[in-house]
Amino acid sequence: MRSTPRLVVAGLAVLLGAAVLAPAAEAQSTRTFVASYGDDAQPCSRTAPCRTFATAFDRTATNGEIDVIDTGSYGPITITRAMKLRGRGTIAGVIVNAGSAITVNAGASDRVAISGLDINGLTTATNGIRVLQAGKVTVDDVQIFGFTYAGVDFEPANAGARLAVTHSILYDNRSSTGATGSAVVVQPAGVGTARATVSDTEMHHNDFGVAASGTTQEAVINVTRSTISDSIAGVFSNGASALVRLSATDVLDSQFGLFYGNGAQVVSSGNNNVNGNGTNGTPTSVTPTTRRR
């Protein structure tokens, strides 16, 4: 799958100007705001919010937070440091027609949290959230739909990267040119294991529900208390280093329920419901558990 000095007096003036302007240009807040009535010329404060996530990010300190005030679409963003992006209590989101809506390319130990957003790919954009590097990424209470490759594409270049997707809905992530659209994809691009946990999440009408792809580097997805339906394959695992673990999860009404190959594994806790698929499939192994849904 799949898969930038003329006169002394003039020069002095420039230097003085830069010295005066630098503090304002570099000033960052631990908490910034965006609003539908905002303006990117403003400081991104609560009383003078910005209009886009990208501008707010530039004015937010490491480990800071960007909050959404009201309903609106706030444009794509690339997150390059530890940050929280929060849209709770509003219908806030990102609408794009190409590329990725949110790209995470932060430090190898940075923590990034994204919550309370609607992310719309208009059936032509590639990824809702794409993770290239980070320590831990948490995606909570989001709706991601209309992307041709992935709702969440987790392909970290660093070792030890972790992803958690919770209380979310990912749907209609499909490709019109081939079966490449998935709700959640885990495919490490570098060294070490890439691990993802998907819990209490709905994944419907995607080409694939969860897809793990690992040949030499481990790609692991743990799915618990979730539902996957109406896919080409609800669970897809490919490669000798790919592993999907299922617990208290429904995999329903797809062409294939569990689909794996090339030495991949799909491990069931034994309390899953894989039914109504063209071919349900069987897990490579079953590990009974006493946990209940």
**pLDDT tens, 209-254?**
999 999 889 999 999 999 999 999 999 999 999 999 999 999 999 9
Q: How far apart are the C-alpha atoms of 31 and 53, rounded to whole Å?
A: 12
How is residue 206 annotated by DSSP?
A: -
Region 127-140: mean pLDDT is 98
**pLDDT tens, 39-54?**
999 999 999 999 999 9
- At CB < 8 A and 24+ separation, what contacts does 107-111 make? 107/81, 107/82, 107/133, 107/134, 107/135, 108/133, 108/134, 108/135, 108/158, 108/159, 108/160, 108/161, 109/135, 110/81, 110/82, 110/83, 110/134, 110/135, 111/82, 111/135, 111/136, 111/137, 111/138
* Whole-number pLDDT of residue 91: 85
Tell me, yes or no, if the pTM score tops 0.75. yes
H or E, element range at 63: strand 60-68
pLDDT of 291 over the 80 cut: no
Here the tokens at position 213 are 């792809």
Closest CA to 52 of 63, 40, 61: 40
Residue in this structure with the two tokens 């040949």, named with its chain if needed: 215
Q: Which domains does the chain have, with CATH numbers?
A: 28-62 (no CATH), 71-286 (2.160.20.10)
